[in-house]
Structure 1
Amino acid sequence: MARYKEFEENAVLDKAMKLFWEQGYEKTSMTDLVEHMGIHRRSLYDTFGDKHTLFLKAMDRFRTKVNSELAGIVKGSETAVEALQLIISYMIYGNEDSPSGCLMVNSAVELAMRDVDVDSKATESFTLAEQLFKDIILWGQENGELNLDYDASVLAEHLNVVGIGLRAMARTSIPKENLQRTANISIKLLTK
């Protein structure tokens, strides 16, 4: 007779996601995951597969959650500049209960050169972020907030690279105020 799962999948996946986000893939052991997720090793394997498969699922979960939060930021913004400011601040400061930086950026730096699956997921995530920036920039150009001297695609590419750098540096001891100053300059360069 099959046993009933004694856990909610997304809740324990969120725990794994945060642990990978904090420690990285290589430093996180299966024992760490079992203890942090609060489930039995057999349940982990039966539900999520091996460590690599769990990691890829954690990356997907991260992307889904972040995209939802970013969509909410854009929807709640009155102007394109406000949306850009809030998104960049989110990249720097994150949420209070989340590790610093970004799971996608951390994973790309740690693994993308030798893991095609991680490279693919990180690249896809960066592409989605760039498209979001492009949409916001087009909005700002249409309503006269943002500079028309450059194509929205070029400006989005610039902001995306700045955002990736900010998320990587958010993991260091550099004061967040310094990162915010850099972000503010990047946004100011886009405004009229």
Structure 2
Amino acid sequence: MRLFWEQGYEKTSMQELVSHMGIHKGSMYDTFGDKQSLYHKSLKRYSEMLDQSVMQLMADTRSAKEAITVLFETTIHQKEELPNGCFIVNTAVELAKHDAEAIEMVHLRWSHTEKLIHDLIVRGQQSGEFSMSLNAEGLSYYLLNALIGLRVMVKTISDKEKLKQIVEMNLSVLERSD
């Protein structure tokens, strides 16, 4: 997964995968199938890890806005040992026209995140934290788009303060205006 995440699908050779995993080429094919199957399994594993991580971080939040903020801030403050950016976003950019199964997995991941954001907005509206006048559906689309953009930006911008200001500006749409 890490090799695909760092290099992308096209730039990762079977030989690199075999060497990186420390197995024989025959074992690779017997265990994982072809390169594309291994990529899909890696993408599925990444998605599962992302779910675990997000749910664990959000479990400690006290409000809907805090949960949404955590979702954005974890993008900025990735663990040092992980590659920059998001494997899902990388897949969307690299394979959008070439791999229908990978793109379906990307869309499922984004739909899942969009629903999470939507549900948090509705929860915030029900608790009085957010205005009832907010369009929860439209706002979930907007915030997902902002989150994806942020995941692209962290690949090339190391200025954490700038990224934090971007998050604050995006989340300002949640402020009560009534």
Q: TM-score range by the shorter chain?
A: over 0.9
- Any residues of structure 2 matched to 1:5-16 within 5 Å, and which? none
Q: Does 1:38 align with 2:22?
A: yes
> What per-residue deviation string (whole Å, max 9, x for no partner) do you get for residues 124-169 of structure 1?
1111110111111111111122232222111111110000000011
Amino acid at match of 1:161: N
Structure 2: which 5+ runs fail to align? none
2:48 is matched with 64
1:14 is matched with none
Deviation for aligned residue 1:175: 2.1
1:137 is matched with 121
1:79 is matched with 63
1:189 counterpart (142, 162, 173): 173
2:78 is matched with 94
1:176 is matched with 160
**In structure 2, how many angstroms separate the alpha carbons of the residues matched to 1:139 and 1:94?**
27
TM-score (norm 1): 0.87
**In structure 1, how many angstroms separate the alpha carbons of the residues matched to 2:160 and 2:37?**
33
Report the RMSD for the aligned CA atoms in angstroms: 1.3
1:22 is matched with 6
Where 1:76 maps in the other structure, the secondary structure is coil
**In structure 2, how many angstroms separate the alpha carbons of the residues matched to 1:32 and 1:102?**
21
**In structure 2, how many angstroms separate the alpha carbons of the residues matched to 1:161 and 1:48?**
33
**In structure 2, how many angstroms separate the alpha carbons of the residues matched to 1:126 and 1:133?**
10
Asked if the contact 1:91/1:167 (under 8 Å) is kept, the reply is yes
**In structure 1, how many angstroms separate the alpha carbons of the residues matched to 2:172 and 2:157?**
25
Deviation for aligned residue 1:81: 1.3
Q: Does 1:159 align with 2:104?
A: no
Structure 1: which 5+ runs fail to align? 1-16
**In structure 1, how many angstroms separate the alpha carbons of the residues matched to 2:163 and 2:29?**
40
**In structure 1, how many angstroms separate the alpha carbons of the residues matched to 2:143 and 2:126?**
18
Deviation for aligned residue 1:174: 5.1
**In structure 2, how many angstroms separate the alpha carbons of the residues matched to 1:176 and 1:34?**
36
Where 1:108 maps in the other structure, the secondary structure is helix
Where 2:59 maps in the other structure, the secondary structure is helix
> What per-residue deviation string (whole Å, max 9, x for no partner) do you get for residues 41-85 of structure 1?
221111111000000000000001101111112221111111111
TM-score (norm 2): 0.93
**In structure 1, how many angstroms separate the alpha carbons of the residues matched to 2:4 and 2:168?**
30
1:105 is matched with 89
Comparing 37-46 and 24-33, the one that deviates more: 37-46
